A and B are shown apart, each in its own frame.
Chain A
């Protein structure tokens, strides 16, 4: 009689390996270097691609099943939100400015990350890393789509949500996340991984997602909260990918260590600048606040990031060069950026406003070392002027940093009363920067950054008007012409919240919902 040998059951990890490994092959018609032309020129040396630990451990079959269920749950909430006029349950129409900022400036970045991972997923030689990057590309596409569908409900009722794709390529403040994303997209595949997977998804993502999603929860926006949960269940996998990526690079060859260090220095600094927008949102734009930007920075950057860099020290990696300056800025960043947007409130496609005494007191309490001394008097001065009917709007254009593209509104480390301003002359051309670190990033890659499309410079060069305008006409208003080129609905998308259409409509609809 035949005896059937009882096969030992495979562990989860082995089962996964059998289904996913060995998918690659050695090319014969073309050399491997010709098939994968971009994974060597950055100087990164990989000796054994099999050492890549796959953090996803999902087969495509299981992946669709998961994401399908997540989507079913999310779309049920979005549907219910729309049917029940969920937009009238938010704390206050000022909250909409936070969501406008997210939609205009963060969601398109997700779309860039789709492209970046799709490209990285094509260009790595190891198949496990290709699979991981391709799956993250699909994840990011889903995030962009779910954000679009969650937020589109607001677009039915409120201003500023309408022309996201058009604005992204033109509007001055959106060039900050756009240039960040394009810098990453045009990097080599390994730098992209360190820029996005490690520096952004791992080190800084909690500073983006937690404030926005908790802010949504605190302010009654269930639709955004639900897409946040749905995305966060992917986000942890993305963070793990960042961790695996950096370990893999550092362990493969000692020559990789200084290259990776350079990328960490660059991308930590770039990320911390992009997050200035989040800081302003947390401290100023949420009617009901969650925590201050400073508190969030202390928990997510200083505490968690500190623990990470203590561990990375074992590989010979030190904290990013801009670390101390970024930590010092936690007392100033959000206030400086809000003041910038308040004064340029005529040119932003969301509203700004004067703070109430209660809100100023909250900031005084959260920022005992800086707010009363440097910022409260300015905000009160602006509020008084506004009350007298002299709302302050800047009519001139600011100087932009060539690297991060933020107007020069940040102050010198150690002196919050002096604007930080740096200059480099490269091939007889002068370039301006907001900080030592942005200047150094330019210095390391001048050929890349001389190509920066700086909105202010482009406006002055006459490249930001619609084709039919005539700048020689006697009644030509250049600022108005630029805002039309941005596709703003003038007087509805921009300006102060006080007296805005969003404010009036929200009050009226809420009144109809709660009274006869």
Chain B
């Protein structure tokens, strides 16, 4: 039995399992509700129930007062649902976030392109255009397998309507991966497919009006590419820097496109970095990891910028370290984060809210 949990003020809606706490469901969906003790003693995660029925669980009578229970407050770390519920939590409202309802979009595979020896670009012509924010992702329903896989949208929404009829996803083959193996080996032009979306809270916080640094690695280029194309299409006038890492030149897809964009846009700077390119090759760009390339590009630190990261966990971690050593902190660092059950088990300090 699952219920629907709506979280105000952002209006996000998520599914919650019977017995799953509000806090657990919110954190897994990437929505940070302030919390500390995790078992009903401190009251940090107090939220207001606007509609529906909940159980208070193990909430201490000193952390959740009787008068608060009467006023419809509960502790997210202990509360479970008895019906569909709407809560209001202490979440900073994000002026740049759009609330876009999630829908199913049937469509047809229109093109499949080899971007690198391991990554394919899959283009899908949707029956109806999808409205999304650059940086968001969709769930691709793998035909006949009963499974779904998440992929960031690699194309930009069109500048006028913020929609797209043909969408692009970039798929790296994962050894033994059921979904990606199917996409690489069996999916072909003309196949009918369905995607669900848009999902995710990874988008550019344009209202802050700060210069932007994008750091991408592996198959994590999709979101930054969509964001950058969208910004340039819409006449963003502050500096944009893309630091983009791959192992070697053969894996460096969309390189020529970014070189061309840098040539035609004065405010766009493109810095490719190869970590494992043969020493004898004619590569004239940076050799090394993305975070080292970033530190070399910003010798005076990152203060005043906003950073957007996308790539494998180790790269994200190294980039956050480099940014913080360059004195850019949590408030100005964004990335898409999925908290798995394993992450939730780890001993974490409460020092950081989102990174």
Interchain CB contact under 8 A, B62 and A233: yes
Query: What's the tally of chain B residues with a CB closer than 8 Å to chain A?
Result: 34
Task: List B residues 230-260 near A (Cβ within 8 Å).
Answer: none
User: Contact check: which of A57, A230, A239 meets B36 at CB < 8 Å?
Assistant: A239
Interchain CB contact under 8 A, A232 and B327: no
Interchain CB contact under 8 A, B65 and A307: no
Name which residue of chain B comes closest to A16, CB basis.
Answer: B90
Complex Cα spacing A308 to B352, Å: 10
- Residues of chain A with a CB closer than 8 A to B97's CB: none
Task: List B residues 1-57 near A (Cβ within 8 Å).
Answer: 8-9, 36-37, 41-44, 48
Most buried by A among B41, B320, B325, B349: B349
- Residues of chain B with a CB closer than 8 A to A304's CB: 347, 349
Given A240-B36, A310-B349, the answer on whether A13 and B92 have CB atoms closer than 8 Å is yes
User: Contact check: which of A12, A232, A312 meets B48 at CB < 8 Å?
Assistant: A12
Complex Cα spacing A235 to B42, Å: 7
Interface flag for A303 (CB, 8 Å): yes
Complex Cα spacing A312 to B324, Å: 10
Interface flag for A470 (CB, 8 Å): no
Min CB distance A150 to B, Å, is 14
Task: List A residues 1-58 near B (Cβ within 8 Å).
Answer: 9, 11-14, 57
Given A229-B62, A314-B320, the answer on whether A307 and B42 have CB atoms closer than 8 Å is no
Interface flag for A498 (CB, 8 Å): no
User: Contact check: which of B42, B60, B349 meets A308 at CB < 8 Å?
Assistant: B349
Interface residues of B, dominant DSSP: loop
Total A-B pairs, Cβ < 8 A: 84
Complex Cα spacing A12 to B65, Å: 18
Complex Cα spacing A337 to B348, Å: 32
Complex Cα spacing A70 to B62, Å: 6
- Residues of chain A with a CB closer than 8 A to B92's CB: 11, 13
Interface residues of A, dominant DSSP: helix
Interchain CB contact under 8 A, A69 and B67: yes
Interface flag for B159 (CB, 8 Å): no
Interchain CB contact under 8 A, A247 and B91: no
Most buried by A among B9, B66, B325: B9
Complex Cα spacing A232 to B43, Å: 10
Task: List A residues 237-270 near B (Cβ within 8 Å).
Answer: 237, 239-240, 243, 247, 251, 254
Min CB distance B208 to A, Å, is 14
Interchain CB contact under 8 A, B65 and A69: yes
Min CB distance B7 to A, Å, is 11
Interchain CB contact under 8 A, B41 and A229: yes
Min CB distance A13 to B, Å, is 5
- Residues of chain A with a CB closer than 8 A to B350's CB: 239-240, 243
Most buried by A among B67, B88, B92, B350: B350
Interface flag for A362 (CB, 8 Å): no
Interchain CB contact under 8 A, B62 and A232: yes
Complex Cα spacing A237 to B350, Å: 12
Interchain CB contact under 8 A, B61 and A311: no
Task: List A residues 414-462 near B (Cβ within 8 Å).
Answer: none
- Residues of chain A with a CB closer than 8 A to B329's CB: 247, 251
Min CB distance A39 to B, Å, is 22
Interchain CB contact under 8 A, A66 and B65: yes
- Cβ proximity bits B292-335 to A, threshold 8 Å, 1 near / 0 not: 00000000000000000000000000001100110101000000
- Residues of chain B with a CB closer than 8 A to A229's CB: 41, 60, 62
- Residues of chain B with a CB closer than 8 A to A303's CB: 347
Interface flag for A476 (CB, 8 Å): no
Interface flag for B351 (CB, 8 Å): yes
Interface flag for A399 (CB, 8 Å): no
Complex Cα spacing A325 to B48, Å: 46
Interface flag for A378 (CB, 8 Å): no
Min CB distance B322 to A, Å, is 10
Given A13-B92, A304-B347, the answer on whether A233 and B324 have CB atoms closer than 8 Å is no
Complex Cα spacing A424 to B61, Å: 53
Complex Cα spacing A12 to B62, Å: 21
Complex Cα spacing A142 to B325, Å: 41
Interface flag for B89 (CB, 8 Å): yes
Task: List A residues 115-160 near B (Cβ within 8 Å).
Answer: none
- Cβ proximity bits A273-313 to B, threshold 8 Å, 1 near / 0 not: 00000000000000000000000000000011011101110
Interchain CB contact under 8 A, B90 and A236: no
Interface flag for A388 (CB, 8 Å): no
Min CB distance B291 to A, Å, is 12
The contact sample of 12 A-B pairs, CB cut-off 8 A, is A12-B90, A13-B90, A13-B91, A57-B90, A69-B65, A70-B62, A247-B329, A247-B351, A251-B327, A254-B327, A311-B348, A314-B320
Q: What would 5 more interface pairs be, CB under 8 Å, given A11-B8, A229-B62, A312-B351?
A: A12-B90, A13-B91, A65-B67, A229-B41, A236-B43
